[in-house]
Structure formats: C-alpha cells, structure tokens
Structure 1
Amino acid sequence: MKDFKVLKFLDRFEGFFEKIGVDYCIMRKILQVKFIMDGRRVPTAIGNSSKKKSKDENNFIKSLWVYGLIGIIMIPLVCFGKNFMFQMSFVFGILMFMIMTSLISDFSSVLLDIRDKNIIGSKPVNSKTLSMAKTIHVLIYMFFITISISGLALITSLITNGILFFIIFLFEIILMDLFIVVITALLYLFILKFFDGEKLKDMINYIQIILSITIAVGYQLIGRLFNFVNLNIIFTPKWWQYFIVPMWFGAPFEMLLHRNYNIYFIIFSVLVIVVPMISIIVYIKLIPVFERNLQKLNDNSKKAKGENKKFLNILSKIVCTNKQERIFFRFASDMMKNEREFKLKVYPSLGFSLIFPFIFMLNDLKDKGWSGIASSKMYLNIYFCALLLPTAVMMIKYSGKYKGAWIYKIIPNKDVSSIFKGTLKAFIVRLLLPVYSIEAVIFMAIFGVKIFPDLILVFLNIMLFTVMCFKVTKKALPFSEEFGVSQGSEGLIVIPLMIILGVLALIHYNYTSVHYGVYVFSVIMLVVNIVLWKKAFNIDLEKISN
C-alpha cells in the first residue's frame, strides 16, 4: 500500500497522539486508506478532470493551482505599506472566507460522515481514534488549500518584511486552520446535541447558509473598522471588535513588529492563541460525545413533516406543460428536499445569493445615505442573486443515490426535454424563486414599487440565464452521476457565465434610460424565453452518458 509524505511527517507526533488517547498506528492506517481513496474526489473549486485518472492520481492535489491564482490578490496587501493591523486583518479575512467556504462545500460531508463508524466501528477501534483520523484528514487538506492560497503571499512577506513577519504569518495560518475546523465541528456537535434525524439534517443546511452569510458580511465589515484620513489608515478600537476574529490575527504583527503595546492589540494577540488552543482541548474531550451523537443522522424515526403534496401538484400544473414534465418536477423537488449531499454542496450558494445583492450597496451607504441609494439604479444589484445558478445547474446531475438512474433507461419516451425542463423548473421553484421573492420585496421597500417592471425583467433575464447555464455545462440526466465523478471539467465555465449575466444586467441598465425601454425589453425577453425553453432541451437520450 502506498505510503505518503504527510504520514511520515505525522509520525513525528506519534507521542502526542498516544498521550491524548489515540491509537496512532490504527489512525495512520485509516488515513492511509483515506488518502488512497481521495484520488477519486474532486473539489468543488474546479469541477472535475476530463482526463482518465491513474490509480495514484489525486485530483485534489492537481487542483491547487486554482487556489494559488486566487491567492495573488493578497500579495499587494502583504508587501505594500506598513499598517499591519489593517493589511493583515484584511488578509486573514480573505483567508477565512476562502477556507470556511471550502470547508462548507467540500469537507462538511467528511466531518459528518457516519460510514466510518458503521464500517470501522465494528472493529476494535475506539471512537477517539476514529474521530481524530477524520479531523486530521480534513485538516491536512485544509492546510494544502491554505498554503496554496497564501503561499505566494508568504514568500512575498519573507522578501519584503523579513523572517519575523514570515514566522508570525505561518504560525497564525496554522492556528487559523485548527480554529476553523474545530469550531465548525463543535458547532455541529451543538446541533447534534439537541436535534434528531431529518430535523438535524435540515438544521445543518440552515447553519451552512448562515455561516456563508456571516462570512460574506464579516469580510465586508473588516474594511469599515478603519477610517481613511488623508491617505492614512486610522484604527479606532471598540469593545465589540473582540468578536471580529480576523482582527485577532492582525494584532500580533502590529504589536511585535511595530512595538505597539496598545491594550486592544495585546488582548487580540492573546485571543489568537488562547481561543484556538481552548477549542482544540474542548474538542478532544468531546470527541466521544460527537461520535455518539453523529449516529442521530441515521435516525429517521421522527419523520419530518411532509410537504403539502396537493400544493406541489397544483404548482406543477401551473409551471409544467405536460404530464411527463410534471412527474419529473415532483421527482426533482423531492430529491432536492431529501438529498443531503446535494444540499451540502448547493445550499451555501443560497447564502451568498441572499447577501451579495445588498453587500455592494453598503459601499455607497456611508456617502449617499438611504435617500441617495433609493434614487439610484442600484436595484439592479438583484442580478447577483443568480450567483447560485451555475453551481446548482452543474450539481443537478449528481446524487448519492445515482445507482437508481437505471430507471431512465426504461422510460418509453426517448425525448428527454421534459426531464430536463421539469428538473430545472423544480430548481427554480424550490430554490431560486424563494430567494428572488425575498430580495424583490426588500428591494421594493428600499427603492419603491416603481421598480416592479424592472424586477419582472430581471426574472425573465434570469430564466434566460438558466437556459444558458444548462447549454454550456456537460449534459447528464438529473441525479444520475456519483458526487465527485465526472468526465468533463466545468468549474472554470462559471467565469464566462458570470460575464454573460453581467452583459444582461448592462443591457437592462441601458434600457432604463429609454422611454418605455424596460417594457420593450421585457416583451423581447419573454418571446426569447418562450422560444429557448421550447428548443434548448431537445436532446437525444442516446447521446447522454449515464
């Protein structure tokens, strides 16, 4: 069995693991098997590789260059200027945003995996060893992601700011990863303590949406903690800043490199060490409790309240044009409701779609005020709610129950347009429409009822954008492929799709300056949607690989 360099590195800490009650030899074997199997997994960041994989190939490792490209944006923050409190708070805000997003989208399913317990639990392996293997597994990959994002910034910091800056930066990165993974696990433990079965699964998805929103808002908040006066950045300490975690990571640079021993900086610096360490100790103590409560994910004895099937049937008759389309509308609705892994992948995007349209208004709120914003055309920010579309359309083809896709082979009608249309309409009704409706109501409260025609036009453009996302992404029958297994690389397609969405918003913006322009454009888009929704899904079933 192949050995791994990271396991040889872990061997140096064998004594530590033994002291905390972990059987290191067994944990090492578990990790070794997991790393071999990880060659099959593909991270959300880039989609999937189109090349045939060798038996030792790990697509995750090959994908790290994408994270490296993202990390380029941190280089100017590290090397330009000497206001380390501002610069490094921003750097760690970006890092925490990226790492937490990766953890939610790619690794929550690992933390919440109960298959290990079912398979290995029957062997003489204690729960602490099993849970520690799971945590180390996640931590190693999170560290790879972190180094890929921050690697160029780390090298730049060594060249421009010296060895001490570099050491502080690297040490805090390690603490940050430990803190993020452990706090996430403790949060899940808290939920597991009070909820059972299906209720718990729904709660976890809601928590992920809240986490996504919190991360996005927190990232925006960091820049507003500082005042810019004559190009000088002034930090004004407030007691509530103790709860802004990226501030903790910025303080040690200011304190150790600039010898600024402000009481706030001292407390921030203490928090950056003490809080992660305490959280690690608490987690280690609660590992057995976490593993016991994790079994509640198997508990379906308390059935969740069933959705109003009568209402769903009525809704399907309104939005679907034929019987077969209605059947797959209801089928896809049930899958999106009950497919836990699908929700783990897609629901975080709902959080970003909810908050992004409002984030960009915050930049002008301080200067223009609410009256200034209300008289502007910033209601077009609602286009940002379509951010979830590319990811969701790509994910619709995946399912944890993909082996049931044989049912498609026995359907009498080989024209699959009804399957795709019914599935996409279910996605629009179940996920997109609630988000859009909430934001539309809030935007009308801010900008007035006068924007209602614009909101209709936005929705028509989003319907067109949905078809475009479908046409560009790889075709596969809904819920017919295993998560992490694909024959085409799709992740980078998101970039041109976002450009297309921006073009639609720009055309809308130009039409707002034309008398009755919004109404004319709406009629045009209505006709275009009717034509495309009839023609775009005519695909031969024989050309689709399951």
Structure 2
Amino acid sequence: MDKILLRLVGLFKGFFNSQGIDYARMITIVEAKLTMDKRRVYMNWRQRQQQKENTNHLNSVLFFYTVMGLFIATFLFAVPSLLLGMILVHTYVLFMMSMTLITDFSTVLLDTTDNQVILPRPVSSRTLFMARLVHILIYLLQFTIAIAIFPLAVTFYKYGFAAGIVMIITVILTVLMAVFSTYILYLLIIRFSNESRVRDIVTYSQIFMAVIFMVSFQVLPRMINLSQLSMQFELHWYAYLLPPVWMALTIEAIVTLNFDVLHISMIVLAFIVPILTFWVMNKYLAPSFAQKLAAMNNGDSIKKDNSTTIIQKEKKPVSSIVSHIICKAPAEKSSFEITWKITGRDKSFKLQFYPGLAYIAVFIFIFVFNSGNNIAAVWNNLPASSSFLWFFYIPMMTVSSSLMIASFNENYLAAWVYHSMPVGKPGMLVSGMAKSLFIKFFVPVFTCITIFCLYVWGLPVIDDALFAFCNNLFCFLIFANLSDHYLPFSRQPNTQQQTGKFLKALLQLIIVSVTVGLHYLLIFLKLPWLLWVLIPLLMAACFLLIKRLQNLSWAQISI
C-alpha cells in the first residue's frame, strides 16, 4: 500500500520543488522511514513480540483497524440520518488519527535523531521537515484506508457514487486536521514542559487509548439500542465550529443538492481550513518545531536533578515507609522498593498492566449492570442483592496478572545485580515483589470498592469485606506460589512464552470462582459468625504461603 501512496506523492513533485524542497532526497528519506515502520513493534503488539526482527507488524495493526472500521460501517448502515452518520464517522476518524499520532507514532514527532544524522549532509531543514510530514501522511493514510474502507463501501451503497467520492475527500481533509492539531498540541507541551514530562504524557495517552478501546468494545454495544435511533436531532451553534460537522454538511449538500448559505459556508470551511493549516505547517512550524525539540533535549538537566535530590531528602518515599512496616529482611525491603518504583516508572509495564485495570469496571458492568434490565432498576435493587461479591473479587482477576508482567523488563541485563548480592534466600526478592504488587495495586482498588459497598449495602457487609480481603490475599499468594518464580524485572520481554498462559488464567479463574462460591454459600446459609472463624485461619494460611516464598532457594528460581 505504501508504494501506491508514494506514487501519488510523485504527482506533486512540481509543487514540492517550487517550495524549495529537494524532492529526490525527500523521497529517499520517506522510503527509509516506511521500511522502518514495517519492522517496528507497535503498542498493542509489544507484549507479543517474537524473536523475528523483520516481521511486518504493520499489517497486523492495519487488520485490527480494519475490523474496527467494520464496526463503524455497521453503525453507519443502521443510522437512518446521513448527517448524524457522517458526523460520527468523521469524528471517529479525527479521534483515531490524533490518538495514533500521539501514541504509536509519537517517536517520529519527538525524535531528533534526523537532525543529527541527516542535516550535516546536503539536506535542508525544509526538506527534512517535509519528509517527516509526508511520512506521517502516508503512515496515517494507511490507517485511514483501513478504518474507512468499510464505511466508504456503505456510503457508496447507501447514498450513491457522489457521496462516496466526496467522503473520500473529506476523510483526507480530516486527516490533515488531525496532523495539524497534533503538531499544535506537541508545540504547546514542549513550550511549557520538559522531555521527561512529554514522555509521560505520551505514555498515559497510550494507556487512555487502550482503555477507551476495551471499554468501548465491551460496554457501548450493550448500551446502544439501534432500534431507538431517530433521524431527528438538533445541532447547536457551537457544533458548527467542529471539523466533523463541516465534513458531514459538505456530504449532505452534495447528496441533497442543498446549497444554501449554511451548507456553502461549511463547504468553504471543510476545504479551506485543512489546506490553510497544511500551508502553516510548511511555512512556520518547520523551523520552530525543530528548534523547540533541540531546546527540549538541551535543557538545564543539572538544575532539575539537584531540585529532585532536594525533594527526596525532604520527603521520604512512600515505598520506603511501607517496606519498613511489612518487610523485615533487607533483601525483601530492597525488592519491595525496587518493584514499587519501577512499576511507577517503566513505560512497558504501564502499557501492559494499567489498561487491564479498566476491565475491573467492565467486568462489574457485565456481571452486575447487564442483567437485561434497566440500569436504573438494577441500581435501585442493589441493596437487596448479593452483588457486592462481584465487587470484592473481580479486582483479583486483573491484579494477579502483575505477577507475570513484573518479571519482564527491557533492561533485564541489569538483573546481574541480584546475583552479585550476598543473598542466601532469593525467595526474599520474590516475596518482596509480591508484597509490593499486592499493596500498590490491589489494596487501593479494594479500599475504593469497599467504601462504595458500604455506601450501598451499609455496615452489615463489613465482615464480608474483611473475609473477601483475606480470601483475595490467599488467592494472590497461591498464584505467586504456583507460577514460575522469577526475580523482579529479570527476564527479556521477547522471550516471554505464550504457551500455558491460557491454562494459568483458567486456573486462576477457577480458584477465584471457588472462593466466591464458598463466600456465597456462607451468606446463603446465613452463617455470618463462621466468617469471623475463617478469617484467622486464612491469615495463618497466608503467613505460611509467604514463608514458602521467602524460603525459595536459587535452584527454584527460573533464570
């Protein structure tokens, strides 16, 4: 697909040369960048990376986007209103392209390596910037085609040939708006922030995008009733300021042959604004963006490092305080603090684990609020039900995955430090990691859920909350003892074995289901006093499981 798009770029060779851009050098740079795109591992495929370095991961990502476009096409086919359908499609394209720029393609926008490698050669900054821009446009056009191919097919079939042709143009113009808005966003971020802050913003944007995908696929189809959709809706005055509305009204004008003042104004905005923004990027953003990137990398890091040191001296980290309370051995304390800090800083861990936390809300919605009744009716009947059991136990289904993720890290070679330490019982490192993961991720979530349950069901569920907490801790330690024992962040990510993960997940689900079933049986038999009898027994079992982890020898550690 990229070769076809490069040929289309060749049609504008005269325009590029008239703007002082060396077309031949620009195309050479773009071809090299597109080749690198095919070999790059994308956000959603990082944890599935295999040993083959030259695998074309881009095709897998494009297939995923095509499936998403199929969902949008189905929605467009069901909506009776042309205007509403086009607004939704163009809004989706604008959002997806902007988020794709911010997430998987952020390295291109923030990478200053080109300035060091290419600019010393006879390549002007304008040519380099245009090569970057053409690369981004081709990259995004591939994603746009993947997303829009099915909506375009529906438009051609449902509204005719003219509507389909105009939609192709409006979708391309929407992509230009996405590129411009993303560049403006990065310029603002770079203007008021430093490099590390920019990286954090990109990371959390990736997490936000992954969460949106998961929640949308699970929740929105259950909340939308297509049979109740109506073509009667009203656009407020501020809606005419949004680019998707311009594009939708442009298509409506062509289909209905309605060229009143409103539609003509929207057509002018739809065509003039994206072209104008493209000219602004070429004319003004080329020098300023490169200068700000260079300034971002050459900031006064010494001053910031000194201020960070002062803050650390004044305030003791939370991880250090907690580790001294629940850990005794120095090795266990060190493992606890290392795990706590790396899970808060490591981008790979955040991208793999944090989106899974969103599934806590998704599972609660599926099991509690998706019983076929009205959500308001389910909410009103909650105090009379035993649904609080789902709230108490669902978090463990997600948090337990942290045990496997925390064993892998891109800087795994630094794990030599474990073997250089005088540690007779490496199990202390494993138990410190398990304690850190449970306290950092499970305890806050469980506390929030308990507060919610106390608000809905009242104080009578306090004994159930304590029993559920002990049960969850017991399950978590069972998982830690049954799984392969790795030292924290000591394994190479692309050597992660996928075989057996389904069986492990199934086993975890069975264990959690059994504990939920036993808890429900105690409630059904109306034996609340038995909960208080079992709590000390569970705590004793947890103590023994922790001791078993701590006593692991080097022969039992997988290296």
Shorter-chain TM-score above 0.5: yes
Which one of 414, 417, 432 corresponds to residue 404 of structure 1? 414
Question: Which residue number in structure 2 is paired with residue 72 of structure 1?
Answer: 70
Question: Which residue number in structure 1 is paired with residue 191 of structure 2?
Answer: 193
SS at match of 2:111: coil
Question: Which residue number in structure 1 is paired with residue 339 of structure 2?
Answer: 332
SS at match of 1:314: helix
TM-score, reference length from structure 1: 0.71
> Cα deviations across residues 13-67 of structure 1 (Å, max 9, x unaligned)?
33444445544433333333333444542223244667653x7532222443333
> Cα deviations across residues 387-442 of structure 1 (Å, max 9, x unaligned)?
97599777645656454344355456597655455445545555665566667667
Which one of 223, 232, 235 corresponds to residue 233 of structure 2? 235
Count matched residues.
540
1-side partners of 2:226 and 2:51: how far apart? 53
Question: Which residue number in structure 1 is paired with residue 24 of structure 2?
Answer: 25
Task: Report the Cα offset of residue 190 of structure 1.
Answer: 0.2
Which one of 139, 143, 146 corresponds to residue 145 of structure 1? 143
Does 2:42 match 1:43?
A: yes
In structure 2, the CA distance between the partners of 1:230 and 1:381, relative to structure 1 (3 Å rule), is: same
Does 2:372 match 1:368?
A: no
Q: Any unmatched runs of 5+ in structure 1? A: none
* 8 Å Cα contact 2:180/2:278 also seen in 1: yes
2-side partners of 1:391 and 1:181: how far apart? 36
Does 2:292 match 1:286?
A: no
Moved more, 206-215 or 43-52: 206-215
Question: Which residue number in structure 1 is paired with residue 81 of structure 2?
Answer: 83
Question: Which residue number in structure 1 is paired with residue 110 of structure 2?
Answer: 112
Rg larger in structure? 2
TM-score, reference length from structure 2: 0.70
> Cα deviations across residues 174-202 of structure 1 (Å, max 9, x unaligned)?
33333334322321210111223545544
1-side partners of 2:219 and 2:257: how far apart? 26
Task: Report the Cα offset of residue 235 of structure 1.
Answer: 0.8
Task: Report the Cα offset of residue 147 of structure 1.
Answer: 2.8
> Cα deviations across residues 292-320 of structure 1 (Å, max 9, x unaligned)?
22232453231344384454222123455
> Cα deviations across residues 247-301 of structure 1 (Å, max 9, x unaligned)?
5554444443345678877766665555544544444322322222223245323
Task: Report the Cα offset of residue 212 of structure 1.
Answer: 7.7
Aligned pairs for 1:313-328 within 5 A: 313-320=320-327, 322-328=329-335
* 8 Å Cα contact 1:128/1:287 also seen in 2: yes
* 8 Å Cα contact 1:39/1:59 also seen in 2: yes
2-side partners of 1:101 and 1:384: how far apart? 29
> Cα deviations across residues 198-244 of structure 1 (Å, max 9, x unaligned)?
45544555666778889999999999xx9999763421222344576
Question: Which residue number in structure 2 is paired with residue 154 of structure 1?
Answer: 152
- The one-letter code matched in structure 2 to 1:335 is I
Q: Supply the RMSD in Å over aligned alpha carbons.
A: 5.7
Which one of 351, 355, 360 corresponds to residue 349 of structure 1? 355
Q: Any unmatched runs of 5+ in structure 2? A: none
Moved more, 181-190 or 464-473: 464-473
2-side partners of 1:215 and 1:400: how far apart? 25
* 8 Å Cα contact 2:78/2:226 also seen in 1: no
Moved more, 126-135 or 227-236: 227-236
Question: Which residue number in structure 1 is paired with residue 55 of structure 2?
Answer: 57
* 8 Å Cα contact 2:207/2:350 also seen in 1: no
2-side partners of 1:357 and 1:90: how far apart? 27
1-side partners of 2:217 and 2:242: how far apart? 10
- The one-letter code matched in structure 1 to 2:63 is W
Q: Which has the higher contact order (CA 8 A, sep 6+)?
A: 1
Task: Report the Cα offset of residue 366 of structure 1.
Answer: 10
Aligned pairs for 1:441-456 within 5 A: none
Task: Report the Cα offset of residue 481 of structure 1.
Answer: 6.4
1-side partners of 2:77 and 2:396: how far apart? 35
> Cα deviations across residues 318-342 of structure 1 (Å, max 9, x unaligned)?
4556433321222233334444x44
In structure 2, the CA distance between the partners of 1:476 and 1:351, relative to structure 1 (3 Å rule), is: closer
Moved more, 24-33 or 205-214: 205-214
1-side partners of 2:247 and 2:116: how far apart? 39
Question: Which residue number in structure 1 is paired with residue 178 of structure 2?
Answer: 180
* 8 Å Cα contact 2:408/2:492 also seen in 1: yes
Does 2:10 match 1:11?
A: yes
In structure 2, the CA distance between the partners of 1:113 and 1:79, relative to structure 1 (3 Å rule), is: same
1-side partners of 2:324 and 2:213: how far apart? 39
- The one-letter code matched in structure 2 to 1:59 is H
Which one of 303, 306, 313 corresponds to residue 312 of structure 2? 306
1-side partners of 2:116 and 2:225: how far apart? 54
2-side partners of 1:264 and 1:455: how far apart? 59
Moved more, 138-147 or 416-425: 416-425
- The one-letter code matched in structure 2 to 1:41 is R
Does 2:41 match 1:34?
A: no
- The one-letter code matched in structure 1 to 2:9 is L
2-side partners of 1:179 and 1:543: how far apart? 53
SS at match of 1:232: coil
* 8 Å Cα contact 1:89/1:250 also seen in 2: yes
Task: Report the Cα offset of residue 143 of structure 1.
Answer: 3.2
Task: Report the Cα offset of residue 465 of structure 1.
Answer: 8.5
- The one-letter code matched in structure 2 to 1:317 is H
Task: Report the Cα offset of residue 123 of structure 1.
Answer: 4.3
In structure 2, the CA distance between the partners of 1:93 and 1:370, relative to structure 1 (3 Å rule), is: farther
2-side partners of 1:405 and 1:155: how far apart? 53
> Cα deviations across residues 107-155 of structure 1 (Å, max 9, x unaligned)?
2233223444444455454444444444444443333334334433433
2-side partners of 1:135 and 1:52: how far apart? 31
Identity %: 23
